[in-house]
Amino acid sequence: MDFVVYVFLLLFSDHCQAFLLDTVTQISPTNDQSLTDKHFDILMDLLMEQRRSQRKQDQVITQMSQALLTLQHEVSKYQNQSQSGSVNIQLLECENKTEMLQRKLDTVIENFETMKVEYMLVVQNLTIVDTKANQIDKEIGMLKNLKSVSYLHNISDILNKTDRNELEIQMTSHRMNEIINDANARKQDVIALYNKADLTEQTLDKHLKELADRVYITARPIAGTYTAGQILTYKSVELKNGIKNVTSFQTSGIFTCEKRGIYQISIFITTNPHTSRFIVYKNKDLITETFSSFDSFYSTGSTIVVTQMKVGDTLYVKAITVASYVYNGNYESGISIVQLQ
């Protein structure tokens, strides 16, 4: 409030104007009428000037009053704002403390609930212990009430029987474990036998497949006269397996090996000359021959040979004598080629 008064006086002193009457200078009395009028005019001017100064002073006082009211309003507003800010800070601090207390309260409640659950578990365990203690007390009371020694003997017999039964159970369990171990051993033997049988079966299947895929053929030669150097050809094939081009074998008389292995070649030829020879060639090498020499009308020569052949080898039968008539009604002459392995 002192600050406001000080400001008001400062502003008032800055805007105020005044005048002083000269009371020292005295006007000498005179009887001149004009001088008196002059004094009157001066007096009127002074009065008018005072009136104007008074009006101006009133205006300044009014302005200063308004400024003072405005200043008081602003000061009050500032004080209210200062007080409101302090209250807000205090309110914020209270809210923070309230939140902290609420968190602590929640923690306390949570701990209380946990302790409550643990307390209930302790009460339950205590109840169980009390129940077992009561049962033990009852059993002790029953033992105290035994008045006959025979009861004690009976109890002893029961305990002995229980021990024997427990021993027998242990022995039985031991025998069962031995039986289980023996059964497991037999099981391993059975598994080994099964694996061996399975391997044997696979081996047999492999051999059977190899046998099924082996080459064999039986053919009948074309009947007629074969000159020296002529290769036997065949009119029919009675049995065949593993050969792709049978027609070529029949028409050319040349067997071409398609699978590597050991082959057995069997030949029998019925002719009518007194002497006849047929040679079996592998590629261009002689490996065996048939020979017949009889005085009768027909004679049969035969031969069997086993040889190793690889893919692409050729096998054929060639006449050697000048003219040999091969007789073949149905079964008199023939050739068989069999793959042994």
* Residue 322 scores a pLDDT above 70: yes
Full 3-state SS string of the chain: CHHHHHHHHHHHHHHCCCCCCCCCCCCCCCCCHHHHHHHHHHHHHHHHHHHHHHHHHHHHHHHHHHHHHHHHHHHHHHHHHHHHHHHHHHHHHHHHHHHHHHHHHHHHHHHHHHHHHHHHHHHHHHHHHHHHHHHHHHHHHHHHCCCCHHHHHHHHHHHHHHHHHHHHHHHHHHHHHHHHHHHHHHHHHHHHHHHHHHHHHHHHHHHHHHHHHCCEEEEEECCEEEECCCECCEEEEEEEECCCCHHHHHHHCCEECCCCEEEEEEEEEEECCCEEEEEEEECCEEEEEEEEECCCCCEEEEEEEEEEECCCCEEEEEECCCEEEEECCCCCCEEEEEECC
Question: Tens of pLDDT along 244-302?
Answer: 889 999 999 999 999 999 999 999 998 886 778 899 999 999 999 998 877 667 888 89
What is the structure's pLDDT at 19?
A: 45
Question: Tens of pLDDT along 155-183?
Answer: 778 888 888 888 888 898 888 888 888 88
